[in-house]
Homo-oligomer: A and B are copies of this chain.
């Protein structure tokens, strides 16, 4: 592809992301995408096999920085506090998810959009759960995470909570900075209960 071609491709992806966020995938028309991208409708099909493929390209495009953002998490084990480290990462993810979420939502709501096997590996959140699980395991070795905790299940729980919070429009759009998010992560790390039977001592 030439520079011109790459530019067009990028504009199509950006237009798609923006439109999905605005009106939802089901209401995004190829016509609208073309108009928003400033190209002819037919041009879309020089760059993507069909509407669905463009949609995936958009998801993957947006996902890259998200995956990258959690890659460094495991190396932070032992530094700062567990809560601080997780909160930092989750905030990052929350921020980036703003773009990704509507796209991901559509995929969940419409089985037809199930990703082709070849691309599933790079789909959203493939990296983060793993990175978070690795981090929790590392902290577990250092005694800063409870021994009974299953790092994998815990990572899924945490991300599920983030997803749930992001989806439900309880608050405005500033989830990343919201008190709700930090409170949630705090509950995840420290729990809400007071369990006398479990004397949590020092690490």
Q: Is A79 interfacial (CB 8 A cutoff)?
A: no
Contact (Cβ within 8 A) A108 B109: yes
Q: Which A133-150 residues have a C-beta within 8 angstroms of B? A: 136, 143-146, 149-150
Interface centre among A106, A144, A161, A184 (most CB of B within 10 A): A161
Complex alpha-carbon distance, A167 and B162, angstroms = 12
Contact (Cβ within 8 A) B189 A192: yes
Q: Which residues of B contact A159 (CB under 8 A)?
A: 164
Q: Is A35 interfacial (CB 8 A cutoff)?
A: no
Contact (Cβ within 8 A) A193 B190: yes
Q: Is A111 interfacial (CB 8 A cutoff)?
A: yes
Q: Which residues of B contact A2 (CB under 8 A)?
A: none
Q: How many copies does the complex hold?
A: 4
Q: Is A202 interfacial (CB 8 A cutoff)?
A: yes
Task: Decide if the interface of chain A is mainly helix, strand, loop or mixed.
Answer: helix
In this complex, what residue of B is CB-closest to A196?
A: B202
Surface stretch bound by B, among A22-30, A58-66, A67-75: A22-30
Contact (Cβ within 8 A) B196 A198: no
Closest chain-B Cβ to A143's Cβ sits at a distance in Å of 7
**A110 is contacted by which of B27, B111, B161 (Cβ under 8 Å)?**
B27
Contact (Cβ within 8 A) A26 B145: no
Contact (Cβ within 8 A) B111 A193: no
Q: Which A167-203 residues have a C-beta within 8 angstroms of B? A: 167-168, 170, 179-180, 183-184, 187-196, 198-203
Contact (Cβ within 8 A) B112 A110: no
Q: Which residues of B contact A199 (CB under 8 A)?
A: 199-201
